[in-house]
Structure 1
Amino acid sequence: MIRRLEDSEAGVLTVRASAKVNLHLGVGAPREDGFHPLDTVYQAVSLYDDVSVAESSEWAVETVLSPYLAGTALPGPGENIVDRVGELLGGGERGASVRIGKSIPVAGGMAGGSADAAAALVALDRLWDLGTPDEELLALAARLGSDVPFALIGGTARGLGRGEQVVPVADHGDYAWVVVPDPRGLSTPAVYRRYDELFPDAPAEPASASRVLEALSYGDPGRLALALHNDLEPAAIDLLPDLEALLERGEAEGALRGIVSGSGPTCVFLCESTEAAQAVADGLGAVRPLTLLAVGPVAGAHVVEVL
Structure 2
Amino acid sequence: MNQLEQLRKYTTVVVDSGDIECIQKYKPQDATTNPTLILKSVLSKKYDFIVNNAIQYAQKIGGSVSDKVQNASDMVSVGFGTEILKYIPGYISTEVDARLSFNTDKCIQKSIQLINLYRNRGVDTSRVLIKLAATWECIQAAHQLKKLGIFCNLTLLFSFAQARACADANVFLISPFVGRIYDWYQKFSLNSSYCSLSDPGILAVKKIFVYYKKYMYKTIIMSASFRRIEQILELAGCDRITISPDLLEQLKIQTLSFTKKLDASKIDTVATQPVPLTESEFRFLHNQDAMAVEKLSEGIRQFSYDQMELEKFLLNLI
Q: Do both share a fold (TM > 0.5)?
A: no
* Greater per-residue helix proportion: 2
Q: Higher relative contact order at CA 8 Å, sep ≥6: structure 1 or structure 2?
A: 1
* Greater per-residue strand proportion: 1
How high is the TM-score relative to the length of structure 2? 0.29
How high is the TM-score relative to the length of structure 1? 0.29
